[in-house]
Amino acid sequence: MRLTLSKWILAISMMGATGLVMADALGDAIADLQHGWAKGYYSTPEKQQDEYFTSLQARAHEVSAKFPGKAEALIWEGIITSTHAKYQGKLSAGGTAKEARELLLAAEKIDANALDGSALTSLGSLYYKVPRFISFGDHDKAREYLERALKVNPTGIDQNFFYGEFLAEKGEKAKAIEALKKALAAPARTGREDADTGRRAEIQALLDKLSK
């Protein structure tokens, strides 16, 4: 049976409304993970961070499963997973870091520009923070990913911070300071005030260290 024009328009409208509801639900889930990450990274006592991020990582995986194929969900599962690795023992951290890399690579394949290139930024950070002699660390790949991230979002706080941190580690002090000053001057992110406050403190601390 053919749809009448009015029924066809109604069907299209309902499909659009369903898409909007799904987008809102994903946005709410991502916001919850973002605030959870900021609380765990900046406010949770160090002795509790492994346990905290174990729980948050599980929540992030639930979001990815609920919204399959969404780069944003994979990005935040990857970010939380990579952060969790930081607080694990050596025997577990390597495997967790590799898991984070796979999540971020999957997100990159779907949409490298999602969340202002956050998959690229996080991959760059992983590649220079993970040891080269026992894992997949690669400074050339780190630079490539971080510079790609900056092309997506040249004024972003995270993009400039991680690039500056990488440059500082490589001994490129003048360029590092330039990138960190850009990070400090980055526009505030609506709804990310908790993360911005913590990140700006990190930036200032590194600038102070480089200025000595």
Give the pLDDT of residue 12: 53
The dihedral sign for the CA sequence 87, 88, 94, 95: negative
Residues 95-144 pLDDT 10s: 999 999 999 999 999 999 999 999 999 999 999 998 876 678 899 999 99
Among 145, 170, 189, identify where a domain stops: 145
100 & 200 share domain: no
Residue 66 lies in a domain: yes
Residue 8 lies in a domain: no
99 & 47 share domain: yes
Residue 15 lies in a domain: no
CATH number at residue 96: 1.25.40
Give the pLDDT of residue 20: 46
Give the pLDDT of residue 91: 81
- What integer is the mean pLDDT of 177-185? 98
Among 110, 126, 145, identify where a domain stops: 145
In which domain, by residue range, is 117 found? Answer: 23-145
- What integer is the mean pLDDT of 175-200? 97
Q: Are 101 and 126 in contact (CB under 8 A)?
A: yes
Q: How far is CA 185 from the centre of its chain?
A: 20
Task: Say if residue 207's pLDDT is above 50.
Answer: yes
70 & 103 share domain: yes
29 & 118 share domain: yes
171 & 190 share domain: yes
Give the pLDDT of residue 101: 97
Read off the pLDDT band of 92 (50, 70, 90).
confident
175 & 123 share domain: no
Task: Say if residue 52's pLDDT is above 90.
Answer: yes
Task: Say if residue 36's pLDDT is above 50.
Answer: yes
Distance in angstroms (rounded) separating the CA atoms of residues 116 and 39: 22
33 & 137 share domain: yes
139 & 170 share domain: no
Give the pLDDT of residue 21: 45
Residue 190 lies in a domain: yes
Task: Say if residue 2's pLDDT is above 70.
Answer: no
Residue 17 lies in a domain: no
Residue 5 lies in a domain: no
Q: What is the pTM of this model?
A: 0.88
Better-predicted residue by pLDDT, 178 or 14: 178
126 & 64 share domain: yes
Residue 177 lies in a domain: yes
Among 91, 124, 145, identify where a domain stops: 145
57 & 158 share domain: no
Count: domains in the chain: 2
- What integer is the mean pLDDT of 133-158? 93
Work out the percent of the chain whose per-residue pLDDT is above 90.
Answer: 81
123 & 72 share domain: yes
Work out the percent of the chain whose per-residue pLDDT is above 70.
Answer: 88
Give the pLDDT of residue 9: 52
Residue 34 lies in a domain: yes
33 & 136 share domain: yes
Task: Say if residue 184's pLDDT is above 50.
Answer: yes
Residues 6-26 pLDDT 10s: 555 555 555 454 444 456 899
Give the pLDDT of residue 152: 98
